[in-house]
C-alpha cells in the first residue's frame, strides 16, 4: 500500500524561510485546516497517511519533502541549504527508520528533496540555491549501488526543481521552462504550464493529478493529457512558498 508521511503545521510557520515571494501573514489555523484537507485528498487517492505532530521550534517542518528522499530501497536524510531547516531531517528519521535503511548527506553538501524529481531509475536533481554540487554528488554515490542515475538540472528563478517542473509519468514533464534548464530533460515530452500560471508546474501524481485550485488553465492542460485532476486549496501554505508535493513523503 502507498504511504504518505505528513507533519502538522508549526505554530511558528510565520517565521518560515522565503526566497522568491514576499512575506504575508499566514493564518495558522486556516493553514492547518488546509493541510487537513490535503491529507484527506491523499487518503482519497489511496494512501495511508502517517500524520506526525507539529514541531513548534521548526517553522518549515510541515514541508517534509525537503529533509528526506525516500526511494524503493533506502531513505536519504538530506542536509538542507537553509541552515534553519537542518534539524528537520533527524525529526523525520524516527518515522522513516521503520520502513527504510537510512543514509545521510554530509557537510559541505547541501540537498533538499524538493530538488529531486524521480523518473524511473533516474533522479533529476536541481542545482539550486538549496542544493549544491557536493550534495548532488553525494546523492549519486549513495544511490549508485541501487542502479539509479543522477542528472543535475540548473534551476533559476524559483526555489526548487519541482517548483519549475514535475514528472507526470509516461515520459511527460509539466514545466515552466523559464525556471529550469529544459535541455537537461532531453528525451521527455515537455508540456508547458499556462502562460499566466508560472507557479503551476508542481503536481502530485498517483492515479490522479493533485493540484492547487488556483491554476485552472494548467489543470485543463493536465486533464487534456488524460489525467483525472483533483484540486485542493493551499492558499495559506503557498504564502510559505509551498506546492502540493512538498507536504508529504510518498512511498510503498
Closest by CA position to 130, among listed 203, 200, 65, 72: 65
At 140, list the grid cell: 549519486
Query: What is the reported pLDDT for 28?
Result: 98
Looking at CATH, the fold of the domain delimited by 3-251 is given as 3.75.10
Query: What is the reported pLDDT for 91?
Result: 87
CA distance 176 to 180: 7
- Strands 249-251 and 3-7 come out as antiparallel
| Active site members | 160, 246
Which class for 33: exposed (0-12), middle (13-18), buried (19 or more C-beta within 10 A)? middle
Which class for 185: exposed (0-12), middle (13-18), buried (19 or more C-beta within 10 A)? buried
Q: Is the pTM of this model over 0.85?
A: yes
Per-block mean pLDDT, blocks of 10 residues, the chain (252 long):
97 97 97 98 97 98 98 98 96 96 98 98 97 98 98 96 97 98 97 98 97 98 98 98 97 96
The residue count of the chain comes to 252
48-52, strands of its sheet edge to edge: 48-52, 3-7, 249-251
Q: How far is CA 83 from CA 130, 166, 193, 209, 239, in A?
A: 10, 25, 32, 32, 20
Query: What is the reported pLDDT for 47?
Result: 97
Domain map (residue ranges) of the chain = 3-251
**CB 9 within 8 Å of CB 36:** no
Amino acid at each position: 500500500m502507498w504511504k504518505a508521511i505528513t507533519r502538522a503545521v508549526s505554530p511558528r510557520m510565520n517565521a518560515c524561510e522565503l526566497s522568491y515571494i514576499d512575506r504575508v501573514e499566514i493564518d495558522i489555523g486556516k493553514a492547518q485546516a488546509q493541510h487537513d484537507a490535503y491529507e484527506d485528498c491523499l487518503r482519497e487517492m489511496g494512501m495511508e497517511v502517517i500524520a506526525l505532530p507539529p514541531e513548534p521550534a521548526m517553522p518549515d517542518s510541515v514541508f517534509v519533502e525537503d529533509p528526506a528522499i525516500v526511494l524503493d530501497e533506502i531513505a536519504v536524510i538530506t542536509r538542507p541549504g537553509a541552515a534553519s531547516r537542518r534539524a528537520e531531517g533527524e525529526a523525520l528519521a524516527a518515522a522513516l527508520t521503520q520502513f527504510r535503511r537510512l543514509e545521510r548527506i554530509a557537510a559541505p553538501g547541501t540537498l533538499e528533496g524538493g530538488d529531486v524529481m524521480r523518473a524511473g531509475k533516474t533522479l533529476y536533481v536541481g542545482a539550486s540555491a538549496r542544493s549544491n554540487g557536493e550534495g548532488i554528488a553525494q546523492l549519486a554515490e549513495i544511490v549508485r549501488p541501487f542502479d539509479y542515475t543522477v542528472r543535475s538540472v540548473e534551476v533559476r528563478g524559483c526555489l526548487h526543481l519541482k517548483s519549475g517542473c514535475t514528472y507526470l509519468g509516461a515520459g511527460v514533464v509539466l514545466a515552466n521552462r523559464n525556471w529550469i534548464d529544459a535541455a537537461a530533460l532531453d528525451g521527455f515530452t515537455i508540456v508547458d504550464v499556462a502562460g499566466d500560471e508560472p507557479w503551476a508546474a508542481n503536481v502530485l501524481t498517483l492515479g490522479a493529478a493533485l493540484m492547487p485550485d488556483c491554476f485552472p488553465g494548467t489543470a485543463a492542460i493536465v486533464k487534456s493529457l488524460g489525467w483525472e485532476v483533483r484540486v485542493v486549496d493551499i492558499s495559506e501554505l503557498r504564502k510559505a512558498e509551498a506546492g502540493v508535493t512538498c507536504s508529504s513523503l510518498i512511498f510503498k
